[in-house]
Amino acid sequence: MSEKMETMEMSAEELEKTKKKEEKVREKELKKQKAAMKKEAAKFQQPSTVSKKSERKNQRKDAEEENGDDYIDPQTSLGEKKLLSRMMAKQYNPSVVEASWYAWWEKSGFFVADAESSKPPYVIVLPPPNVTGALHIGHALTSAIQDTIIRWRRMSGYNTLWVPGMDHAGIATQVIVEKKVMRERKLTRHDLGREKFVSEVLKWKNEYGGTILRQQRRLGSSLDWSRECFTMDEKRCRAVTEAFVRLFKEGLIYRALRLVNWDCVLRTAISDIEVDYQDIKERTLLKVPGYDKEVEFGVLTSFAYPLEGNLGEIVVATTRVETMLGDMAIAVHPKDSRYQHIHGKFAIHPFNGRKLPVVCDDILVDPNFGTGAVKITPAHDPNDFDFGKRRKLDFINIFTDDGKINGNGGPEFEGMPRFRAREAITKALQDKGLYRGAKNNEMRLGVCSRSYDVVEPMIKPQWYVNCSSMAKEALDAVMNEENQRIEIIPKQYASDWKRWLDNIHDWCVSRQLWWGHRIPAWYVSFENDELKELGSYDDRWVVARNEEEARKETSERYPGKKFTISQDPDVLDTWFSSGLFPLTVLGWPDETEDLKVFYPTSVLETGHDILFFWVARIVMLGKKLGGDVPFRKVYLHPMIRDAHGRKMSKSLGNVIDPLEVINGITLQGLHKRLEEGNLDQAELKTSKAEQEKDFPNGISECGADALRFALVSYTAQSDKINLDIQRVVGYRQWCNKLWNAIRFAMSKLGDDYTPPTDVVPEIMPFCCQWILSVLNKAIGETVASLEAYKFSDAATAVYSWWQFKLCDVYIEVIKPYFVGSDSSAASSKRFARDVLWLCLETGLRLLHPFMPFVTEELWQRLPQPKDSVRKESNDMRVSPCSEGAYQSPCFSWTNNKVEQDMDLIESAVKALRYLRSLMPAKERHERRPAFALCQTDEVAEIINCHELEIRTLANVSSLSVSSSVDDAPIGSTVSVVNENLSIYLNVEGTINAEAEREKLRKKMEEICKQQETLSRTMNASGYKEKVPPHIHEENVAKLASLMQELVSFEKASQHLEREVAAQ
């Protein structure tokens, strides 16, 4: 059900292939895992090509690495905790890392919520995907976001419940099974009969349905599978019936004859969301199911109606000539002088002699459009329907359910398919001399997304939900600022919510299908009824929970009368049962413990495209039947497009299968998937060309973690995500960075290392204080972003800390502590190890909700504190899924002064790296002396105190500090860091000093412009009166800084002048 606008429905053949494909994928993954292990093992068994001396050195270094088997994970039984290799592989392999963990999580019950828990509840209901669906990228986005939320809340001490379920997908499932029966047995559903057909659907569902939920496990979705449900299971069926009955008893459900979107292929009414609109600019030929020839659209045909009493004729125009068989009037504008003489007169229908009144109307008619005369077909046009109700016209349906002309259309055309009748009527009008021509006409054509049939507006008796009062409550729940019950995120969609609910229409909930919740209404018939057709008498319907209850109510309504009752053959709109889902999954209408504890749920996360079709209806039904709004927040994620911003479409070949991203696929494999679809040759050629352009080498194996992280990171984009697979590949490479960080740590911590129970930053080396402070900041930013549903910001905060602070700086800067055996460095080494362990352990837990597999594996490899929780008899640690509390900020770790000093250090390092990048490539890795020109004692002290950090990170041989530019060594070039610090690197003539001097000149010009602009602003008339004091103080400081920076650049320029002279 979720992402209905984007769901890729699967045919029976595709589902069979998918089932086999899943088995092949599992076999392939196992083979890939074994191959990767063998490959890793082979690295340690290949003959050496290095010198004997180096070989002996490596043998000593790798004494513990006895053979390749040490790098291969032992076989793990299904559901058991994963057994890890003794040694970590040298590279991250997603298929190896992501194996076995999920089965253990599930078997261990980490995802099961406890209704008796004292923890605060946090509940998400997974928008139920269609039983016919395959996992597509929209589902992957939904799961990545929801699993991030639920894992974070679980780790934060909440009693989390994430409920999985499937939607029976009435139309989609029926279409698939009908095609299957026709293909295999050459029978229609009508040939089988209702009971046998429904049996076929259930059989198909049990065999092939639910593929998508199995695929959710591959993504790592931590759903509570013990509560899995299906919208057509026994409990949900009973709940849907109860909801219908209660709403009917309250007068909120009624039956009426109204206009609906009718599908002539499926022979059912369909919802607005199942109608796709094509914009047609001019005469266009299109394929329509059931027609051999293409059908013409985008043409406005004019014809004349003769007027009664020899008053001439009146010309009308239409894009649907066939509907003229149901015309009941002609409307003109009351002020249109052309037609004032025929107000109240009659036109004569040329084919059936019906008298059509000429009626004045200033609502429907635009006198400046066309002829200014409008034909009125109340039973087949929405505007004409409203007109017919206002004017009390008769409503005559001219079509059969399968789209043929019925008896009301006259014997000349009866039995003709509607678009063949279009041609026949046009010819007949020409023969009668009434045809007045045709011209191109821009129009929107409604097409059913399931059958591809052109939607026909038809008047049909249907069941409706009166939404007026419920919509007001749903609107108030969001828009009432004083008592807001639901918050919509992002906020801009609240205006859509208001617009839709302010203009809501009653909801048609009946469908003429056989697969679905059968409407619990029985029609009462008597022997002496003049009209025998079901539903002929509007007041004969009895709504009840079952047939026994219906008979009892009928007997009470018609005491002493002999009657028969027949259940309505129609079923309920799928959106009705899915709209009840947050209630029914928790046991409603029974007063279950789950309902008491977990309702209302916490948040509904879904796509913004179904805000009205699903979300609004959940709120209306939840408030009415559950007594409270069904959730407190609604988070609407963007819709996914391809890297070029195009909607994903099979015909474009740009549909991305998440499993293909996770497992990897060749270009040939992508082509094969297209060939197995239903594309014609032209579409297939286009699609293959697009794939070759976007994925020339196929898609690399990325793993679930990288895909999840990429999708969550993309949520910063507004209403659309332009998904570039290369970004996913980048995160897969980043996983290797995490892997190497742990490998480094394991090599430095040692086998006997015991982590600390507590740390005191104040007594630690500078770099340890710094990494803990920035870690604390990252924790605060991550938690605050998650709280605010800014998932991209949360992902960025975690990523930035790992990448730019821990890996790029801290791990590099502590390496000197582990070189040599100087006893004076023992304390620093011990602190560095403790903080390294603490950072990795905390950082992995911080990252776990986003990347559960790799963080689980790496976390399990870390040494454990003496007091850590133990669960298994083999003394292994439990998972972050259950034990690991999500880190909260630690105030004692924050040290702003240390962070400020490190900012300066990093700026100096960045400057040195920049100067190094200017050197010839072959000389860039040489360690050269550096010089720091400091304008203040404070800066000089910082640089002097942290010379080791700068030398280590910038890879320079030495660093001298001075306050005089004259001390800068000859043969060096310069980079100005800020107004108080300039950095020099000895390059010995390898850099063009004149070119560097020119760069400085341009920077000085830029600073002068900034200085002039700011001075002009501060000297402007009325500045002091208008500008607040704190802004004025900031401007004064900024101006002083610019002036000092200019001085620094001037000194640098003077130094380069000397270099130029020396050259």
Measure the CA–CA gap between 422 and 323, rounded to whole angstroms.
Answer: 8
Measure the CA–CA gap between 811 and 418, rounded to whole angstroms.
Answer: 75
The pLDDT, as a whole number, for residue 673 is 84
Given a contact cutoff of 8 angstroms between Cβ atoms, the answer to whether 179 and 13 are in contact is no
Kindly give the residue spans of alpha helices, DSSP state H, lying in 44-136. Answer: 52-61, 94-97, 101-107
Token couple for 1014: 């700011």
Contacts 24+ apart (CB under 8 A), 45-49: none
pLDDT in tens, 164-223: 999 998 888 898 898 889 989 999 999 999 999 999 999 888 887 777 878 899 999 999
Cis omega (within 30 of 0) on the bond before 490?
A: yes
pTM of this structure: 0.85
Measure the CA–CA gap between 1055 and 1063, rounded to whole angstroms.
Answer: 13
Residues 539-548 as b/e (b if ≥16 CB within 10 A, e otherwise) read ebbbbbeeee
Strands (E), 894-1039: 929-934, 958-962, 972-978, 981-986
The pLDDT, as a whole number, for residue 989 is 61
The pLDDT, as a whole number, for residue 1008 is 86
Task: Tell me the backbone φ, ψ of residue 564, rounded to 5 degrees.
Answer: -130, 150
The pLDDT, as a whole number, for residue 496 is 94
The pLDDT, as a whole number, for residue 917 is 83
Measure the CA–CA gap between 93 and 656, rounded to whole angstroms.
Answer: 22
pLDDT in tens, 361-383: 999 999 988 889 999 999 999 99
Given a contact cutoff of 8 angstroms between Cβ atoms, the answer to whether 418 and 456 are in contact is yes
Closest by CA to 612, choosing from 497, 690, 463, is: 497
Vertex 713: Cα angle to 711 and 717 (nearest 5): 90
The pLDDT, as a whole number, for residue 343 is 94
The pLDDT, as a whole number, for residue 1060 is 62
The pLDDT, as a whole number, for residue 1028 is 86
The pLDDT, as a whole number, for residue 39 is 47
Given a contact cutoff of 8 angstroms between Cβ atoms, the answer to whether 702 and 661 are in contact is yes
Residue ranges of the chain whose pLDDT lies below 50: 2-9, 30, 33-34, 36-57, 59-60, 63-65, 870-876
Q: How many CB atoms lie within 10 A of CB 355?
A: 12
Task: Tell me the backbone φ, ψ of residue 81, rounded to 5 degrees.
Answer: -65, 135
